[in-house]
């Protein structure tokens, strides 16, 4: 079953220029290591990488950068709203360059996260949490299932 209103948000490609603009708007100085992390993130877009994945990819690209520096850079980006965190309970924190409202398809096999935009999900009203004293910042739907790659892998494994 498909819907015309459901579309991946990957058409909004993350560019280095866009990320630099976000840093400039927040007066966040673009040091060498931060720039290396941004360039690496552009190459990893759509994958919601963990800090370790960003570190490994940055090293593969030839950047001489330490693991702690990558962690610090990612946290600085989150603090200044250059990136956001894609939380998935029980797994390593993942970073997300898509700031616009969107939702996540979470694969239960590989823990991969795909972006999905759907105006029906956006229209879900916020719950009343006033009695719980909980201040809501946003509502993001996590749709869980098995991604295409994992389905194909499982079919190939069938005798
Ligand atoms: Zn998967
Ligand atoms: Zn996302």
Domain boundaries, the chain: 6-157
**Ligand (nearest to CA of 108):** 1
With 70 as the cut, is the pLDDT of residue 19 above it? yes
Give residue 8's pLDDT.
47
Q: What backbone phi and psi angles, to 5 degrees, belong to 124? A: -65, 125
**Ligand (nearest to CA of 100):** 2
**Ligand (nearest to CA of 102):** 2
Among 10-14, 18-22, 120-124, the minimum mean pLDDT is found in 10-14
**Ligand (nearest to CA of 114):** 2
Ligand 2 centroid distance, CA of 47 (Å): 8
In tens, the pLDDT along 93-135 reads 899 999 888 999 999 899 889 999 999 999 999 999 999 999 9
Ligand 2 centroid distance, CA of 86 (Å): 6
Greater confidence (42 vs 3) lies with: 42
Ligand 2 centroid distance, CA of 136 (Å): 19
CA separation for the pair 135, 82 (Å, rounded): 22
With 70 as the cut, is the pLDDT of residue 2 above it? no
Instruction: For helices 32-43 and 67-79, give the axis angle rounded to 10 degrees.
Output: 80
Give residue 45's pLDDT.
86
* CATH T-level fold of 6-157: Arc Repressor Mutant, subunit A (1.10.10)
What's the chain's average pLDDT? 89
**Ligand (nearest to CA of 141):** 2
Other beta carbons within 10 angstroms of residue 95's beta carbon come to 23
């Amino acid at each position: 079953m498909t819907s015309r209103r459901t579309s991946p948000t990957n058409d909004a490609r993350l560019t280095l220029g866009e990320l630099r603009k976000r840093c400039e708007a927040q007066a966040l100085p673009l040091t060498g290591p931060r720039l290396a992390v941004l360039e690496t993130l552009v190459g990893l877009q759509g994958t919601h990488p963990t800090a370790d994945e960003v570190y490994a990819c940055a090293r593969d690209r030839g950047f001489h950068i330490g693991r702690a520096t990558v962690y610090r850079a990612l946290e600085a980006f989150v603090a200044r709203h250059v990136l956001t965190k894609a939380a998935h309970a029980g797994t390593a924190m993942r970073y997300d360059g898509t700031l616009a409202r969107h939702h996540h398809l979470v694969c239960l096999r590989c823990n991969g996260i795909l972006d999905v935009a759907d105006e029906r999900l956006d229209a879900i009203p916020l719950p009343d949490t006033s009695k719980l004293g909980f201040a809501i910042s946003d509502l993001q739907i996590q749709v869980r299932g098995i991604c295409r790659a994992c389905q194909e892998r499982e079919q190939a494994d069938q005798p």
